[in-house]
Amino acid sequence: MNQRTDGLVQRRNITRESSESAQNPKESDDSDKKLDHDEETEEGDSKETRLTLMEEVLLLGLKDKEGYTSFWNDCISSGLRGCILIELALRGRIELEKAGMRHKGLLNRKVIMKSDTPTGDVLLDEALKHVKDMDPPETVQSWIEYLSGETWNPLKLRIQLKNVRERLAKNLVEKGVLTTEKQNFLLFDMTTHPVTDNTAKSRLVKKVQDSVLSRWVNDPHRMDKRLLSLLFLAHASDVLENAFAPLNDDDYEVAMKRVRDLLELNFERESMTPNTNELIWAVFAAFIK
């Protein structure tokens, strides 16, 4: 098992109490029937510390005290671009074209604009503008490559989103989750962003742990789409281990088995389920192909 990241907390089984549920039994019944909760209503979340999908993945990847991601992690760059596409899809800005009579697969279908209304997030709106201006449209796989700058087409290099990790870290600084420091690495100075709000980081880690342990539902379509996406993209970004490292051996094995079960799903079939978001499954397929 990899060395545990500083600041992570041992998973505890905490009984959640909700005064609203007690006062409104019908609301409690409805929540039992539909577990696709809006993340904005999660216990402990405030407007100031509500995080985007890409901020959560970066936060999982950051070393708490050092304030930077592992130098050996070459997956997080493309993983964060996948987060951006899913975040835009969850906000109703982009979608996959229809499968058509030929039933084109997820990775062969193009990403199209659904709404060009700005999100208010500079990084998301920059990506959204690129999607709007792209003619003809491109596939999810191509967008991940273009936004990462990993393309042989020099005409597409202008689409690359630059300094994504630094920009996300600054967002987290503004939200009070991280702070900014300068560290000297012999030949150069580097700006780092250590965790300053351990509560926010611990809450994120516990949310990930609970999603595959105490709150596991064994059905991806009954899970919150954002939380399901976090599991997939944290794995694709090679940072999921950081959330599971504090677990005892038994819980760790259970958590990893359930994640493997998710990774082995038939994404084409899952994307055909009513009321699902096809673009999310296309992003999953692009990373787990």
Lookup: tokens for 213: 């342990």
* Torsion sign over Cα 24, 28, 34, 35: positive
Check if the beta carbon of residue 143 is closer than 8 Å to that of residue 93: no
Kindly report, residue by residue over 51-74, the tens digit of the pLDDT: 999 999 999 999 988 888 887 888
Q: How far is CA 45 from CA 170, 175, 270, in A?
A: 19, 12, 30
pLDDT at residue 49, rounded to an integer: 63
Q: Report the Cα 31 to chain-centroid distance in Å.
A: 23
pLDDT one digit per residue (tens) for the chain, 289 residues: 443 333 333 343 433 334 444 444 444 444 344 434 443 344 444 444 689 999 999 999 999 888 888 878 889 999 999 999 999 999 999 999 998 777 889 999 999 999 999 999 999 999 999 999 999 999 999 999 999 988 777 888 889 999 999 999 999 999 999 998 887 766 767 888 999 989 999 999 999 999 999 999 999 999 999 999 999 999 999 999 999 999 999 999 999 999 999 999 999 999 999 999 999 999 999 998 6
> Residue ranges of the domains in the chain?
53-288
Domain 53-288 class, CATH top level: mainly alpha
Lookup: tokens for 255: 């958590």
Assign 110 to helix, strand or coil.
strand
Lookup: tokens for 101: 């009579």
